[in-house]
Amino acid sequence: MTPDLADLIEHARIGDPNAARELADIVERAVAKPDRRIGAALQPRKRGGVSDWHAEQLAERNAGYRDFAIAEFGTEFLTPKQARTLNRKICRLLAEAHLIECGVSPQQGALRRIRAAGLGTIGDRQLLNVLKRPAKK
């Protein structure tokens, strides 16, 4: 993890050669793209993307949807009609939270994972996209 710009300046002033080199690299990149805003040009870390905790939530939710699809249809590769049916069933079962808490079927375990992710339900097309992509391990 790179220190922020103020720390780099402070370390360069007290004579740290690594901080001076890193600061020079940042300035060189900023000068190479003069049309960028100063804050974006001098920012030592990359911007955008999905945070680690959000990626974990998405992966957990998607794994729950995959598990439910496998428990219902025996495969995670569904037709659009099957995905629509599955999604409606998941939405209905998530609305009836008391049904999730009792029992130990694979569907109920998958529903618990979807609900625990805290991201809510997804649409039919997004479900098809989730099921098409391989699970990240």
Amino acid at 98: H
Give the Cβ contact number of residue 86 at 10 Å: 20
Going from N- to C-terminal start, the domains of the chain cover 5-42, 52-132
Tens of pLDDT along the chain (137 residues)?
445 778 888 888 998 888 888 888 888 888 887 777 777 777 655 667 777 888 888 888 888 899 999 999 998 888 899 999 999 998 888 877 666 666 667 777 787 777 778 777 788 888 888 888 766 65
Residue 3, pLDDT score: 58
Residue 110, pLDDT score: 80
* C-alpha R_g of the chain: 24
CA gap 119, 7 in Å, rounded: 37
Beta strands in the chain (DSSP E): none
Six-digit token string for 105: 């079927």
CA gap 124, 88 in Å, rounded: 9
- 90 close to 121: Cβ distance less than 8 angstroms: yes
